[in-house]
């Protein structure tokens, strides 16, 4: 393994009444989008897929991210969500394991 596995954090509660509470581990059918802000998949700090891309016909899912990451697991794969009032970063810790490793206050 050429990357550092970060420790899991409790994502806490979400102060936005219109958004679901963040999860400690993402389900494969979870959506990688926040609606207003930024959500994307990155590998070693480089954006690979933009979950907020208006050209996409369907939302990006964690399953799609997992399929890409599973083909090249020796890298630091992360799903980043940065929305109003909250944000989370999920790191791939193994097969179908996307664990919350960072939380922030988002913007606004």
CB 97 within 8 A of CB 77: no
Residue 40 pLDDT: 97
Structure letter (DSSP) for residue 63 = H
DSSP one-letter string for 34-57? -SSSEEEEEETTEEEEETT-TT-S
Residue 13 pLDDT: 63
pLDDT less than 50: residues of the chain: none
Strand ranges in 1-96 using DSSP code E only, listed in sequence order? 38-43, 46-50, 77-83, 86-94
Closest CA to 81 of 65, 70, 96: 65
Residue 20 pLDDT: 61
Q: Which three-class secondary structure state does DSSP give residue 71?
A: helix
Beta bridge partners of 47: 42
Residue 4 pLDDT: 94
Residue 19 pLDDT: 63
């Amino acid at each position: 393994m050429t990357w550092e596995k970060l420790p899991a954090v409790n994502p806490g509660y979400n102060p936005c009444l219109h958004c679901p509470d963040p999860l400690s581990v993402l389900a494969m059918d979870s959506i990688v989008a926040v609606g207003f802000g930024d959500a994307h998949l990155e590998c070693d700090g480089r954006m690979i897929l933009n979950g907020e891309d208006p050209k996409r016909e369907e939302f990006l899912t964690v399953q799609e991210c997992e399929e890409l990451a599973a083909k090249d697991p020796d890298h630091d794969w992360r799903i980043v969500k940065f929305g109003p009032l909250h944000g989370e970063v999920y790191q791939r810790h193994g097969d179908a394991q996307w664990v919350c490793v960072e939380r922030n206050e988002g913007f606004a």
